[in-house]
Structure 1
Amino acid sequence: MKLSWYLPVLLSAGLLACSQSAANGTVVTKNAATSVPAATAPDNKPSFAQYAASLKKEAVERGYSPELVKQVFDSLQHYKSAVVADKKQPEFVETLDTYLPKRVSKQRIALARKFYKEHQAELAAIGRKYEVQPRFIMALWALESSFGKIMGNYAVPSALATLAYDGRREAFFRKEFFLALDILAAGHVKLADMKGSWAGAMGQSQFMPSAFMAYAQDGDGDGHINIWQSRLDAWASMANYLKTEGWDQSLTWGRQVTVPKQFDFSLVIPKGSKDRAQWLEWWSKSERSLTDWQALGVRTATGGDLPKRDIRAAMVMPDDEHGRVYLAYSNYQTLMHWNRSYYFVTSVGYLADLIISEG
């Protein structure tokens, strides 16, 4: 199943663990999962226990095994903290200049370089198979789950059932709930190990169940796809995501540039797109060849000429006219499909560049 437009919205709204909340730079930290008794129903709304009973009835009708149904629904609990997190509005608190040093810290850069060297053979094999540069796999692994160390401690079925019950996006989370049951039914992971963020993002790759169904891969060849405990499965799944969504290994993600005085900022992709389709429409209006950007006075971050390559790029400015300026290549679009946030994409590209730099 291909990710719907809604997942990038979830990502950019900070619904996944360790993810930037939006293109404004708010950082969402992972809260410990806290459960509460079955929610008390306001007005005419059914209780959480009653809602869970409706889910159980549907699970039986869908043909899940009695053992799985009993195991899942005996464990189901309501997470008040997930509801609070879902309704929390992001705040405008950062710029790239303050965000990047924290998100891509010296410690994270050092660890990314260390793991990149230690696992070079494994990463190279995955990179060849999926045609994705290994440094981008490492950068995503570092930023999504802190090298597989921070994956969230919410029971995924309970988190998804909680948010479906909350009702603000019931159809989306109800669908994700049953996809989570599909993953359990296939035997990829045990229920006790199916942990994730408060929004149900799972494992070292922080995939929603729909993303798991669309992109997850058996990277270690053991017959199961375990993005929680197998880094090879997680790496292969992330690489497959990028490749499936159009990654071009002949290109990097983009580059920071400078613009001249009196530059026409109408050429920059506007911020605040309502969905991916609108953002891609704005991209097409901004996109030009490097030769055209050069003629408009755009130069590298150090003031040099742009590469003399037949590449098209759009221009993005995460912090508007007084912030950093980037020429974004087609791989930028793929990263924006993963998380429709300029801050997230910049952090991935920035770290990927640093992994192979000598600094």
Structure 2
Amino acid sequence: MRLKTLAFVLCFAFSPLPLLAACGGSFNNFVQNMKAEAVSKGHAPASVDRFFSGIRQSQSVLRADRDQGMFQRPFLDFSRNLISDARLSKGQRLGREYDAVFDSIDRRYGVSRGVLLAFWAFETAYGTYQGDFNTANALVTLAHDCRRPDLFRPQVFAALELYEMGDFDPKTTTGAWAGEIGMVQMLPRDILENGQDADGDGHVRLKTSAPDALMSGAAMLADFGWRRGEPWLQEVRLPDNFDWSQTGIHITKPVSTWADMGVTARSGNLFRGATASLILPQGHKGPAFITYPNFNIYFDWNQSFTYVVTAAYFATLIEGAPKMDRGAPDKGLNAEQMKALQTKLQARGHDVGKVDGILGARTRIAVQLEQQRLGLPADAWPTPALLGKL
């Protein structure tokens, strides 16, 4: 899911007022310009006319694009919402059901089945909810919108190419609000580049063929740089006197160095063939994980830190890891407090990106620096105490 969103868990509490995008000017004029550009790229005029004939601007897509409240939840709450025993057991059952497909994926790409099963679970509840937004309308609406036109304009032309191949119907193809299609939610350009016909029917059918969807997802991860046969995430224990300022995905060390610092695996053994980082999603009193290079590939699928940690952790559960030690984290901040914190951090010269109430990577780094300055445990977990001291 290249756009980095959760399609099926969004809360649709939308305002009834229309959201107008000024950057693209008149939507009808924008569509005409897109048609002209498509013809200039070599697409047949008649094909272009048919593709764009029913395109409409989607207000529901614009509202969904602006509603990202799910990502404001802390890791433990977020993961509790997405991970259940039923979802875990179903993933393990599907792993056995599609054993031959996963064996083929392992031979071709070296991507573990747990990783793909976790994405399959989170993106579409194992294919049961793939989204009901008209994909063509969603892509053109977002290409016209101000926020990420450079991402979505190429996706419109990729959808047009899929249409010309017979693998996309602009009137009936549906998916997530951000234009992703199929069981593991891939954008049209990713389908063109990494779509795989794993069931041998001559088409890439990501909505109806689990083998096609899983193999295509694996091909995309490999294209992102997935390292064959290597782990991605592992729960660890840290000594009480650990230097918390050394944690965070922006700090990497050889695994042997972490071991020398007292880091031990909660189950199994540390993978010593790579460098790694240590992350504390909810501070030093919560769960701790070591992240290997493959963990960083997750951010090419979804940029939300909370989503990535949850998906990576669920993948380890599917493959037999024990449930994490949740610990007893200090109380965090609500959305309004987080925005206040981000505003204060900006005033102190930190780059936290957008003030959105979401604890992203840049906010975590800024929090850690301020914790060090104030003599607090520098674990990148913002608390009311930190907010008060700022």
TM-score normalised over the length of structure 1: 0.79
Equivalent position to 1:297, from 258, 262, 266: 262
Shift of 1:107: 1.9
Deviation readout 1:93-137 (Å, 9 max, x if unpaired) = 422222212211222112112211222122222322222222222
Distance 2:223 2:271 in 1: 28
- What does 1:1-359 align with in structure 2 at a 5 Å threshold? 10-11=3-4, 14=5, 16-18=6-8, 28-29=10-11, 46-88=25-67, 90=69, 93-269=72-248, 282=250, 286-301=251-266, 306-307=269-270, 309-357=272-320
Change (3 A) 1:267 1:47: same
Shift of 1:79: 0.6
Paired residues in the alignment total: 320
Q: Percent identity?
A: 29
- What's the Cα RMSD here? 2.9
Shift of 1:297: 1.8
Distance 2:179 2:167 in 1: 16
Shift of 1:152: 1.4
Structure-1 residue corresponding to 2:374: none
Equivalent pair of 2:130/2:176 in contact (CA under 8 Å): yes
Change (3 A) 1:89 1:118: closer
Equivalent pair of 1:193/1:228 in contact (CA under 8 Å): no
SS at match of 2:37: helix
Distance 1:234 1:73 in 2: 27
Equivalent pair of 2:75/2:281 in contact (CA under 8 Å): yes
Distance 1:147 1:257 in 2: 29
Structure-1 residue corresponding to 2:342: none
Distance 2:289 2:234 in 1: 5
Unpaired runs of 5+ residues, structure 1, are: 1-6, 19-26, 271-281
Distance 1:267 1:197 in 2: 38
Equivalent pair of 2:71/2:306 in contact (CA under 8 Å): no
Change (3 A) 1:217 1:29: farther
SS at match of 2:290: strand
Distance 1:191 1:75 in 2: 8
Deviation readout 1:52-99 (Å, 9 max, x if unpaired) = 222222233333234432332222111111112223354764222222
Equivalent pair of 2:183/2:213 in contact (CA under 8 Å): yes
SS at match of 2:102: helix
Structure with the larger RCO, 1 or 2 (CA within 8 Å, 6+ apart): 1
Distance 2:232 2:45 in 1: 48
Distance 2:21 2:229 in 1: 55
- AA aligned to 1:108 is R
Distance 1:74 1:308 in 2: 54
Distance 2:142 2:91 in 1: 34
SS at match of 1:320: coil
Deviation readout 1:190-216 (Å, 9 max, x if unpaired) = 334422211111211211222223322
Structure-1 residue corresponding to 2:377: none
Shift of 1:158: 0.9
More displaced, 236-245 or 248-257?
Answer: 248-257
Change (3 A) 1:173 1:120: same
- AA aligned to 1:333 is N
Change (3 A) 1:93 1:246: closer
Distance 1:244 1:207 in 2: 13
Distance 1:333 1:138 in 2: 18
Equivalent pair of 2:247/2:280 in contact (CA under 8 Å): yes
Distance 1:92 1:52 in 2: 32
Deviation readout 1:15-66 (Å, 9 max, x if unpaired) = x513xxxxxxxx534799x9x9xx9897x97432222222222233333234
Distance 1:115 1:253 in 2: 21
Distance 2:20 2:68 in 1: 24
SS at match of 2:118: helix
SS at match of 2:129: coil
Change (3 A) 1:28 1:323: farther
Distance 2:71 2:117 in 1: 29
- AA aligned to 1:297 is G
Shift of 1:343: 2.2
